[in-house]
Amino acid sequence: MRQFQHYIDGAFCDGPAVFPSVDPSNGEPWALMPEAREADVDRAVMAAHRALHAGPWATMTATQRGKLLYRLADLVMQNARALAELETRDTGKIIRETSAQIAYVADYYRYYAGLADKIEGAHLPIDKPDMEVWLRREPVGVVAMIVPWNSQLFLSAVKLGPALAAGCTVVLKASEDGPAPLLEFARLVQEAGFPPGVVNILTGFGASCGSILARHPKVAHVAFTGGPEAARHIVRGSAENLATTSLELGGKSPFIVFADADLESAANAQVAGIFAAAGQSCTAGSRLVVDRRVKEEFLAMLKAKAEAIRIGNPADMATEVGPLATARQIAHVGALIGRAVAAGARVVCGGTALDRPGFYHAPTILDCDGVSSPSMVEEFFGPVLSAVSFETEAEALQIANDTAFGLASGVFTSNLSRAHRMIRGIHAGVVWVNTYRAVSPIAPFGGMGLSGQGREGGLAAALDYTRTKTVWLRTSDDPIPDPFVMR
pLDDT surpasses 90 at 219: yes
pLDDT surpasses 90 at 1: no
Are residue 220 and residue 298 in the same domain, yes or no? no
HEC per residue, 136-190: EEEECCEEEEECCCCCHHHHHHHHHHHHHHCCCEEEEEECCCCCHHHHHHHHHHH
Q: How many residues does the chain have?
A: 487
Are residue 173 and residue 311 in the same domain, yes or no? no
Greater confidence, 487 or 228?
Answer: 228
Q: Determine, yes or no, domain membership for 442.
A: no
DSSP string, 223-255: EEES-HHHHHHHHHHHHHHT-EEEEE-----EE
Mind listing the pLDDT tens digit for each residue in 17-71? Answer: 999 999 999 999 999 999 999 999 999 999 999 999 998 999 999 999 999 999 9
Domain endpoint, select from 403, 433, 463: 433
Are residue 464 and residue 326 in the same domain, yes or no? no
92 closest CA partner among 329, 336, 305: 329
Quote the distance between the C-alpha of residue 52 and its chain's center.
Answer: 25
Are residue 160 and residue 285 in the same domain, yes or no? no
The average confidence (pLDDT) of the chain is 96
Q: What is the CATH number of the domain that holds 405?
A: 3.40.309.10
Are residue 311 and residue 453 in the same domain, yes or no? no
**Average pLDDT of the segment spanning 349-378:** 94
Q: Determine, yes or no, domain membership for 481.
A: no
**Rounded distance between C-alpha atoms, residue 90 and residue 184, angstroms:** 12
Are residue 15 and residue 134 in the same domain, yes or no? yes
454 backbone φψ class: left, alpha, beta (φ>0; ψ -120 to 50): left
First to last CA, the chain: 69
67 backbone φψ class: left, alpha, beta (φ>0; ψ -120 to 50): alpha
Q: What is the torsion angle, in degrees rounded to the nearest 10, for the CA atoms of residue 156, residue 317, residue 439 and residue 390?
A: -120
Residues 6 or more apart from 75 whose CB is under 8 A from it? 188, 191, 192
Mind listing the pLDDT tens digit for each residue in 455-485? Answer: 999 999 999 999 999 999 999 999 988 888 8
Q: Determine, yes or no, domain membership for 29.
A: yes
Q: Determine, yes or no, domain membership for 390.
A: yes
Look at residue 183 in the predicted model and tell me its pLDDT: 98
Look at residue 295 in the predicted model and tell me its pLDDT: 98
**Rounded distance between C-alpha atoms, residue 28 and residue 21, angstroms:** 8
**Average pLDDT of the segment spanning 350-379:** 94
Q: Provide the domain count of the chain.
A: 2
Look at residue 485 in the predicted model and tell me its pLDDT: 86
Are residue 119 and residue 220 in the same domain, yes or no? yes
**Rounded distance between C-alpha atoms, residue 303 and residue 306, angstroms:** 5
Mind listing the pLDDT tens digit for each residue in 257-295? Answer: 999 999 999 999 999 999 999 999 999 999 999 999 999
Could you give the 3-state DSSP secondary structure of residue 453? strand
pLDDT surpasses 80 at 449: yes
Contact between 315 and 25 under an 8 Å Cβ cutoff? The reply is yes
pLDDT surpasses 80 at 428: yes
Mind listing the pLDDT tens digit for each residue in 321-330? Answer: 999 999 999 9
141 backbone φψ class: left, alpha, beta (φ>0; ψ -120 to 50): left
Pairing mode, strands 432-433 and 410-412: parallel
pLDDT band, very low/low/confident/very high, at 186 (cuts 50, 70, 90)? very high
Look at residue 369 in the predicted model and tell me its pLDDT: 87
Q: Determine, yes or no, domain membership for 413.
A: yes
Q: Determine, yes or no, domain membership for 398.
A: yes
Q: Please give the biggest Cα pair distance in the chain.
A: 86
H helix or E strand, kind and range, residue 12: strand 11-13
Mind listing the pLDDT tens digit for each residue in 131-177? Answer: 999 999 999 999 999 999 989 999 999 999 999 999 999 999 999 99
Are residue 106 and residue 145 in the same domain, yes or no? yes
Look at residue 312 in the predicted model and tell me its pLDDT: 96
Q: Determine, yes or no, domain membership for 337.
A: yes
Quote the distance between the C-alpha of residue 273 and its chain's center.
Answer: 16
Q: In this predicted structure, which of 7-11, 121-125, 198-202, 479-483 has the lowest mean pLDDT? A: 479-483
Identify the domain containing residue 279 by its residue range.
254-433
Contact between 20 and 33 under an 8 Å Cβ cutoff? The reply is yes
**Average pLDDT of the segment spanning 330-358:** 96
Are residue 121 and residue 215 in the same domain, yes or no? yes
- Give me the catalytic one of 97, 176, 184, 248: 248
Q: What is the CATH number of the domain that holds 119?
A: 3.40.605.10
Look at residue 487 in the predicted model and tell me its pLDDT: 73
Are residue 203 and residue 280 in the same domain, yes or no? no
Could you give the 3-state DSSP secondary structure of residue 131? strand
Look at residue 67 in the predicted model and tell me its pLDDT: 98
Are residue 260 and residue 243 in the same domain, yes or no? no
In this structure, which amino acid lies at residue 72?
L
Are residue 151 and residue 258 in the same domain, yes or no? no
Instruction: Kindly state the percentage of the chain with pLDDT values over 90.
Output: 95
pLDDT surpasses 90 at 370: no
**Rounded distance between C-alpha atoms, residue 97 and residue 103, angstroms:** 10
DSSP string, 38-80: HHHHHHHHHHHHHHHHSSHHHH--HHHHHHHHHHHHHHHHHTH
Look at residue 486 in the predicted model and tell me its pLDDT: 76
Instruction: Kindly state the percentage of the chain with pLDDT values over 70.
Output: 100
Look at residue 55 in the predicted model and tell me its pLDDT: 86
176 part of the active site = no
Q: Determine, yes or no, domain membership for 439.
A: no
